[in-house]
Amino acid sequence: MTRKPDLRILLGTYGVVIALLALIAFGWWRYDNFVGFFNITSVLRYNSMFALVSLGMCFVIMTGGIDLSVGSTAALGSVAAALASPYGILPGAAAGIGVGLLVGAINGLLVTRANIMPFIATLATMLAASGSALLLANNQSVSVSYESGFTALGQGNLWILPIPAVIAGVAYLLGSVVLNFTSTGRTVLAIGGNEEASRLMGLRTDAIKFLTYLASGGLAGLAGVILAAQFGAGQPIEGVGWELFAIASVVVGGTLLTGGVGSVGTTLAGVLLLGILFNVLNFENGMGWISLSAYWQSVIRGAFLLVVVIIQARMVTRPNAPA
Partner 1 sequence: MIALALLLVFNLIFTRNFATVQTLNVNLTQVCTIVIVAVGMTMVIGTGGIDLSVGSIMAISGALAPMIFLGTIFPVGPIGPAVALAICVALLAATLLGLFNGWLVAYFRIQPIVATLVLFIAGRGIAQVLTNGNLQVFRTPEFQWIGLGRPFGIPVQVLIMAAIVLLAAWVLRRTVFGRAILATGGNERAAELSGVPVSRVKLAVYAISGFCAGVAGLIVIAINSASDANLVGLGMELDAIAAVAVGGTLLSGGKATIIGTLIGALTIQLVRYTLLANGVPDAAALVVKAAIIVLAVWLQQQGRAR
Task: Choose which of 84, 203, 214, 247 interacts with partner 1 (CB under 8 A).
Answer: 247
CB of 168 to partner 1, least distance (A): 23
Instruction: Identify which of residues 174 and 303 has a Cβ nearer to partner 1 in the complex.
Output: 303
Q: How far apart are CA 126 and CA 67, in angstroms?
A: 9
Task: Choose which of 244, 277, 280, 281 interacts with partner 1 (CB under 8 A).
Answer: 244
Q: Count Cα atoms within 13 angstroms, Cβ side, for 18.
A: 8
Instruction: Identify which of residues 36 and 241 has a Cβ nearer to partner 1 in the complex.
Output: 241
Runs of H (alpha helix) within the chain: 7-30, 37-62, 70-84, 89-112, 118-137, 152-155, 163-181, 183-193, 195-200, 205-231, 242-252, 264-287, 295-312
φ, ψ at 146 (rounded to 5°): -90, -15
Q: Does 124 bind partner 1 (CB under 8 A)?
A: yes
CB of 140 to partner 1, least distance (A): 12
Handedness of CA 177, 268, 222, 157 (dihedral sign): positive
Instruction: Identify which of residues 40 and 300 has a Cβ nearer to partner 1 in the complex.
Output: 300
Antiparallel, parallel or unpaired: β 157-158 and 142-143: unpaired
Task: Choose which of 251, 271, 272, 276 interacts with partner 1 (CB under 8 A).
Answer: 251
Q: Does 61 bind partner 1 (CB under 8 A)?
A: no
CB of 263 to partner 1, least distance (A): 18
Q: Count Cα atoms within 13 angstroms, Cβ side, for 229.
A: 34
Measuring CA to CA, how many Å separate 201 from each of 3, 60, 181, 205?
A: 20, 21, 20, 10
Q: Does 313 bind partner 1 (CB under 8 A)?
A: yes
Task: Choose which of 41, 176, 184, 297 interacts with partner 1 (CB under 8 A).
Answer: 297
Q: Does 199 bind partner 1 (CB under 8 A)?
A: no
Contact 188, 59 (CB under 8 A): yes
Binding residue count for partner 1, defined by CB under 8 A: 47
Residues within the interface to partner 1 (CB under 8 A): 66, 110, 114-117, 119-121, 123-128, 130-135, 139, 241, 244, 247-248, 251, 257-258, 293, 295-303, 305-306, 309-310, 313-314, 317, 321
